[in-house]
Chain A
Amino acid sequence: MTVRPSHRNRPGAAGALFAYVVMTAAALLTLAPIALSTMTALRAPTDFLSQGPLHLPNPPTLENVTQLFTREDSFITPFAVTAQMVAVILAGQIVFSVMAAYAFAFLRFRGRDALFWLFISTLMVPQVVVIIPLFLALSELGLRNTFFALVIPFVFGSPYAVFLLRQNFRSVPQELIDAMRVDGAGHLRILWNLVVPLNRPIIVTLVIITVVTHWNSFLWPLIITKGPDWRTLTVATSALSTQYNANWTLVMAATTLALIPLILLYFAFQKQVANSISGTELR
Chain B
Amino acid sequence: MGEAAVYPTGRNKCCTIFRFSFPAVLLTLVLLAVATRALHAQTDCLACHSDATLQDAAGHSVGVDGAKFSSSIHGSLQCNDCHADIKEYPHPDHVAPVVCSKCHADQQAGVAGSVHAKASEHPCTGCHGDAHSIFPKDDPRSAVYPLNVPKTCGACHGNDGLAKRHGLNNVYPVYMDSIHGFALSKEGLLVAANCQSCHGSHNILSHNNPLSTTYKTNVPRTCGTCHAKINDEYQTGVHGHAVAAGKLGAPVCSDCHTAHAILQPTEAAFRMQSTPICGNCHKDKFSTYRDTFHSQLGSLGGYVETARCWDCHGAHGILPASDPNSPVNKANLIKTCGQCHAGANASFVQYQPHANARDRKLNPALYFIRLFMNLLLASVLIFFMIHTILWVIRARYNQIKAKAAEGDKNA
Bind each other: no
Interface residues, chain A, with chain B CB atoms under 8 Å away: none
Interface residues, chain B, with chain A CB atoms under 8 Å away: none
